[in-house]
Structure 1
Amino acid sequence: MPITRSAVKKLRVDKRKTEHNKRIKRTLKVALKEAISSSKPEALIKAYSTLDKAAKRGIIHKNTASRKKSNLAKQFKSDKPITKKPTAKQKKINKPK
């Protein structure tokens, strides 16, 4: 529990900002799902707009928005789902006893 008055106010502000950011992230998630599932250009434009707004407001990083837009464009162009690139497997390191 915060003790000082400024800490109490900071907690209130943080709760409000967290709720606002969650709302925008939910909107972003819905827009991306809609753009992926449909092949309509309007859905793609809406997803682009939502990504740009989230990046501008600092909710997601601008490079993240750029990467997601690029993947959406690739998918929209090819009409196939984009799969994630395989990651390198971690090598086990045997520790001496």
Structure 2
Amino acid sequence: MPNIKSAIKRVKVAEKANAANAQAKSAMRTTVKKAEQALVAGAENAPELVAAASKALDKAASKGLIHKNAAARKKSRLAAK
């Protein structure tokens, strides 16, 4: 642990941001996984799940959790399925 006050604060802020980013990224992955499973199963609500996954990918890209091209690639592959 650092001794300097500003460095201590940066460590705390970084830990908090890391936890929030991990939670958001996990939620995004879960949404995408549910959409993929619905597409494979041929579920009735698959279009809504794909739309939700697309929204989650865009949100993650805007927050910098994943690269915007990665989000576009994943959305494209979901739409193609």
| TM-score of the pair, normalised by structure 2 | 0.89
**Amino acid of the structure 2 residue aligned with 1:44:** V
Q: How does 1:20-59 map to 2 (within 5 A)?
A: 20-39=20-39, 40-59=46-65
Question: What CA distance in whole angstroms lies between the structure 2 residues aligned with 1:59 and 1:29?
Answer: 11
**Amino acid of the structure 1 residue aligned with 2:53:** A
User: Residue 12 of structure 1 aligns with which residue?
Assistant: 12
Question: Structure 1, residues 66-86: CA drift from partner, whole Å, max 9, x if none?
Answer: 0100111111xxxxxxxxxxx
Question: What CA distance in whole angstroms lies between the structure 2 residues aligned with 1:45 and 1:70?
Answer: 12
Question: Structure 1, residues 24-68: CA drift from partner, whole Å, max 9, x if none?
Answer: 011011101101000310000000000000001111110010010
Larger proportion of helix: 2
Structure 2 unaligned residues grouped into runs of 5+: 40-45
Choose 1 or 2 for highest CA Rg.
Answer: 1
Identify which of structures 1 and 2 has the higher relative contact order when contacts are C-alpha pairs closer than 8 Å and 6+ apart. 2
Question: What CA distance in whole angstroms lies between the structure 1 residues aligned with 2:50 and 2:2?
Answer: 44
User: Residue 64 of structure 1 aligns with which residue?
Assistant: 70
The alignment covers a number of residue pairs equal to: 75
**Identity percentage over the alignment?**
40
Structure 1 unaligned residues grouped into runs of 5+: 76-97
